[in-house]
Structure 1
Amino acid sequence: MEQKFLDLFKETLEIEDREIALTDSFRNFDEWDSLALLSVIAMIDEEYDVIIESKEFQKLTTIGEVFNYIQSNS
């Protein structure tokens, strides 16, 4: 499940030139902006049926924290 999530995260941010890991701080990615935020939240809702409020999402800093949030709330 972790690899599928990483693949979806990469696809959502349109990252093609490198690998990403659960320990990565996604807010430091060049691809990260307000549209990326909305896209990731939409992907999580669509793929995992988990809704993350923007206020909650702001507390998450790594891809792993997002993944753990989904697992805890699905």
Structure 2
Amino acid sequence: MDMQDFIEKFAEAIEMESVNDLKEDTKFRELDEWNSLAVLSVIAMLDEEYDIQIENADFKKLEMIGDIAQFIENQR
């Protein structure tokens, strides 16, 4: 998976205007844009873009953007 492409999709899902500050090791829960709607948007993006369903308990274990990407890779 192309990490930059994933970061762009992630940023779009949470309605973030710029991806310049997002990296693989960014702790997404610390972003100003992160809220309950962002959680649902990212979960929906995973389903639509990658055909991946994630349980809430599994999502809570993820901390960084790279963790989400790794979760996708592990599900393939």
Under a length normalisation based on structure 2, what TM-score does the superposition of the two structures give? 0.92
Query: Which aligned pairs between 1:1-74 and structure 2 lie closer than 5 A?
Result: 1-19=2-20, 20-74=22-76
Q: What runs of 5+ residues in structure 1 fail to find an aligned partner? A: none
**What is the RMSD computed on CA atoms of the aligned residues?**
0.9
Q: Distance in 2 between matches of 1:41 and 1:55?
A: 12
Runs of 4+ in 1 over 2 A off after TM superposition: none
Q: What runs of 5+ residues in structure 2 fail to find an aligned partner? A: none
**Structure 1 residues 16 and 53: alpha-carbon distance in aligned structure 2, compared to 1, 3 A threshold:** same
The 3-state SS of whatever aligns with 1:58 is: helix
Q: Distance in 1 between matches of 2:19 and 2:40?
A: 22
- What is the total number of aligned residue pairs between the two structures? 74
Q: Distance in 1 between matches of 2:64 and 2:75?
A: 17
Under a length normalisation based on structure 1, what TM-score does the superposition of the two structures give? 0.94
